[in-house]
Amino acid sequence: MRSKTDAQPYEQEELKRDLKSRHIQMIAIGGAIGTGLFYGSSWAIKTAGPAIILTYLVAAVAIYFVMRALGEMAVEEPVSGSYISYSNRYIHRFAGFLNGWNAFIFLLATSAAELNALGNYVHFWFPTMPIWLTALIAVSVMFCVNMIGVKFYGEAEFWFALIKVTAIVAMIVFGVGMIFFGLGNNGEPIGHHNLVDHGGFFAKGIGGMVLSIVMVAFSFGGIENLGLAAGEARDVKTTMPKAVSATFWRLLIFYVGAIAVLLMIFPWTSLTAKGSPFVDVFTRIGVPAAAGVMNLVVITAVLSAVNASVFTNSRTFYNLALQKNAPAFLGTVNRRNVPSRAIMLVFATMFAGVLLNYLMPEKAFELFSSITVFALVCAWTSIVVSHLRFRKLKIQTGQADSLSYKMPFFPYGNYIALVFIAAVLVCIAILPDMRMSLIVSASWVAIVFVAYKFYTREGQPALAEMPNADPRLP
């Protein structure tokens, strides 16, 4: 029997609650840790120098408040639509509509790029294998995994994510051995002098540190998957708080720890804009076939991302249909309580993205990147603003004291997160390579707004006209 704080009367969900805390943690970690950390961390280091460590710490503080805001709402109202449902409920129906379709485009874009990358990684062992065939096999396997049931999906994602997490932990452990005990360096400790020897800790100045905030911020993209899994979590009041706390600290250790170790071992000036510094670490300590081992790790990282994309996309469509922001047939489940029609649509559209990547790879990448940046900013902003209105309503109705997982430092934590998000937007406007994304994003919003007006006929504040809504909500 549902409690008063559950999804009713907003969404009558029929999903099966079979995800444990460890599944939810790995879903979030699997989405947040992708090939960018393994092969793209050098770009951020080149932009900021050793001060990139501070950038990660600053971003982590803001992300912490975003995650806690999402966690508080997910515990009280555990629906699969997560922030999409909350923005529909507490901001405006258009906010839910925009976030829903943003989330789909965001995940479609990233999965299409990941599948393209997967084909290139497989070329390491099978140079003649077509990229489209690799993508077909990968998505087909992930399709079957997701259709079997959420528990099977959770187990698959757990083990996929565990492989890349193990690789990161191994790199940090071996790196610490090199820094303090001379492992792989003839017994001579490397120390921490590389942090200051090549132009100082702030080698690129405060400006470089600030500009790197864009890449650092989006390296945390995927944490919103925590909320999407809440609708299928067992004992959500116990699993969600554990998942939020554990995921945050693990991401902080993995990102800050891994980057700090890399910068102590290697001069930051020696890291190229492409390639994996992780391979260099394993090679230096004498791991046989380090490149091959890391290639396998990255392939599992991609499969993890694709698996998470199928799950989150399908739940997004399912919840949009329940909100009447998408066709009703997407809001149905099969006998295993899996949103099979939504999964089928995701399966088809993922291949459309792969085809677009194949036909015009450069233009597709620019388009996907632009929308991805904006979609993530929208998601985080919606989480923070929805939480402000959610908590205000609880205070007005005298229910605030009964909240079981309160975000600390309310509302100042919300404001800190919003300032951080604003800083990301300013940096996007400053960086020439990303400035175009603001224009593309504005065009996208206009298209979605027209579709919204056509589809819904009239827009209204979501919660204000729903059953049992409190008229005092601002």
pLDDT in tens, 285-321: 777 777 788 788 888 877 877 777 788 788 888 878 8
Q: Is the CB of residue 123 less than 8 Å from the CB of residue 281?
A: no
The boundaries of the domain holding residue 53 are 21-452
DSSP 406: P
- Return the pLDDT at 450: 93
Q: Is the CB of residue 43 less than 8 Å from the CB of residue 35?
A: no
Q: Is residue 235 part of a domain?
A: yes
Pick from 281, 216, 213, 196: nearest CA to 40:
216
Q: Is residue 266 part of a domain?
A: yes
Q: Is residue 470 part of a domain?
A: no
Three-state secondary-structure class, residue 19? strand
Residue 123 in tokens: 């070329």
Determine phi and psi for 19, rounding to 5 degrees.
Answer: -90, 130
Q: pLDDT band for position 149 (50/70/90)?
A: confident
pLDDT in tens, 354-411: 777 677 665 555 556 656 777 888 999 999 999 999 999 999 999 999 999 999 999 9
Average pLDDT over residues 182-190: 86
Q: Is residue 6 part of a domain?
A: no
Q: pLDDT band for position 240 (50/70/90)?
A: confident
Average pLDDT over residues 86-93: 91
Q: How far apart are CA 472 and CA 474, in angstroms?
A: 6
Q: Is residue 12 part of a domain?
A: no
Residue type, 193: H
Q: How many domains does the chain have?
A: 1
Q: Is residue 1 part of a domain?
A: no
Q: How far apart are CA 62 and CA 418, in angstroms?
A: 8
User: CATH no. for residue 392?
Assistant: 1.20.1740.10
Task: Spell out the residues 6+ positions from residue 355 whose beta carbon is closer than 8 angstroms to its own.
Answer: none
Q: What is the pTM of this model?
A: 0.80
Q: Is residue 467 part of a domain?
A: no
Query: CA angle 429-434-436, nearest 5°?
Result: 80
Q: Which residue has the tokens 């449902």?
A: 85
